[in-house]
Amino acid sequence: MKSLHPDTIDQAASAVRRFGYDRSRLATGIVHLGLGAFHRAHQALYTEAAIARGDLRWGVAGVHLRGRRMADALAAQGLLYSVTERGAGEPATRIVGALRAAWFAPEQLATVLAALADPGVAVVTTTVTEKGYAPRPADGALDFQDPDIAHDLAHPEAPRSTLGLLAAGIAARAADAPLTLLCCDNMASNGDSLRRLLLQYAEAVNPALARRIDAEIAFPNTMVDRIVPAATPESLDWAASRLGLRDEAALVCEPFSQWVIEDRFAAARPEWEAGGALFTSDVRPFQALKLSLLNGSHSALAYLGQLRGRETVAEAMADAPLAAFVRRLMVDDLLPGLERPAGLDVPGYCRALIERFENPALGHRTRQIASDGSQKVPVRWLPALRRAAGTERPWLERALAAWLHYLCEERDEAGRALVIADPGAPMLAARLRAAGSARAAVAAALDALGMADSGAALSDRLARHLATLRNGGTTALFGRGIDASAATPPQPGGILP
């Protein structure tokens, strides 16, 4: 089978949608850091829609920070790739033309820095995962111990970290070239967080640069949402069979996509409305709702799913007690106290989430979602626990205990070793294991999460859940509140089907 390339694009299967604009006239208006699956199946498609309206300023120069494999694969395909939406209906495949470059920063640093400084580039978007900004999980301040940050502070002209790259790029920009940095990662107030962390970094490098960033750069907050599993050999084969061409960068994702953006740009921006983006003056309620209900539930499915041997989210949702647990978690524990975005049908939103999780076509790995828990848990679960202000949140507290148990055990309930990908995990797991009792383990965890003063009652309950997990596993943890034999899950609050 031939490979996807500008020379072969005409041979793609007839049902595949292609771009209609003249790609040779595309300029580079956006630099994107973190050219992973999520960007390519989310922001890039909104940009594609803006370009398709005829504004050819907005081609995307993508930057890989960690591995060069995908940069090479994209380069070999003339920077073309496909995205297939798979849900209940007929799958829809399209070939995306918006990419103008796929660089690997460690080897093309000068090119990347020149692009960040280019006055034609008005927007820099980022998806580098939570840990890519080097926040300390306990308080969100910059982690000066992070090895890449420490490196960049010693060598600011040869940066490795996201913050180091941004600072060096901005330092090289002309004063009259306004720039917007748009953080598209799953963090609360992600634009504000990026701004705070970048200012902390710049302050340590050069206070004058920090003042410039403070005065000149815009950092809108954004809420991004689309489930885009990492590609697998199977998903690549499946995509090739639809496309009629081999595409090593092919992505398969859900049909749902949402992007809510704070309308606060330093200068021009693409007309992302063309792809359905919503511009608003306040993103926070959308963000809080999504991080809590979607990502918070996802993480619970991931840790409990990992412990119960469920490889994918759809398998976890087919595990009746686990699915019932997650419904209750969502409605009883994560939802209370959340500000509801005006006009949003919250029960409908919850029902749609359940359906999205059940999508059997995605093969979204619980292991992938379980990664980086020490960064994700504080964002996804702790706000609801703090809002509870001492009131018991039975399901959320059980989920938290399950995460700690997962970190300590590193095995599922059938005794199989689990792979835990989280740079923050070894230290936390060592503290948990060194603790002489469940109570001491909980104290260590709450301390690491910046929740040391959350009261004895919560600590007691968490210690009890940990002990239950050790003695009886997740089924014992679920307890009587979840009917393990239930074919139809309970209907908490009447919200969910």
Binding-site ranges for ligand CS2 (CB under 6 A): 186, 225-227, 294-295, 298, 368-369, 376
Torsion, Cα of 124, 166, 377, 444 (10° steps):
-170
H or E stretch at 398: helix 394-409
Q: Report the distance separating Cα 38 and Cα 162, nearest Å.
A: 17
Q: Considering beta carbons, is residue 3 or 258 the nearer one to ligand CS2?
A: 258
Closest contact distance (angstroms) between CB of 298 and ligand CS2 is: 4
Q: Point out the residue whose Cβ comes nearest to ligand CS2.
A: 298
Closest contact distance (angstroms) between CB of 260 and ligand CS2 is: 12
Q: Considering beta carbons, is residue 47 or 454 the nearer one to ligand CS2?
A: 47
Q: Considering beta carbons, is residue 39 or 376 the nearer one to ligand CS2?
A: 376
Do 145 and 52 meet the contact criterion of CB atoms below 8 Å apart? Answer: no
Closest contact distance (angstroms) between CB of 227 and ligand CS2 is: 4
251-253 and 278-280 beta bridge pairing: unpaired
Q: Considering beta carbons, is residue 101 or 293 the nearer one to ligand CS2?
A: 293
Closest contact distance (angstroms) between CB of 370 and ligand CS2 is: 8
Q: Report the distance separating Cα 401 and Cα 419, nearest Å.
A: 19
The three-state secondary structure class of 266 is coil
Q: Report the distance separating Cα 397 and Cα 300, nearest Å.
A: 11
Helix runs in 15-146, H state only: 37-41, 43-52, 69-76, 109-117
179-183 and 217-218 beta bridge pairing: parallel
Q: Considering beta carbons, is residue 35 or 115 the nearer one to ligand CS2?
A: 35
Closest contact distance (angstroms) between CB of 78 and ligand CS2 is: 28
Closest contact distance (angstroms) between CB of 226 and ligand CS2 is: 5
59-64 and 92-96 beta bridge pairing: unpaired
Q: Is the Cα dihedral 151, 155, 160, 161 positive or negative?
A: positive
Closest contact distance (angstroms) between CB of 157 and ligand CS2 is: 33
* Buried residues in 427-438 as b, exposed as e (16+ CB within 10 A): ebbebbeebeeb
Q: Considering beta carbons, is residue 178 or 285 the nearer one to ligand CS2?
A: 285
Q: Considering beta carbons, is residue 186 or 468 the nearer one to ligand CS2?
A: 186
Place of tokens 């999508």: 359
Q: Considering beta carbons, is residue 111 or 368 the nearer one to ligand CS2?
A: 368
Closest contact distance (angstroms) between CB of 131 and ligand CS2 is: 12
Do 367 and 419 meet the contact criterion of CB atoms below 8 Å apart? Answer: yes
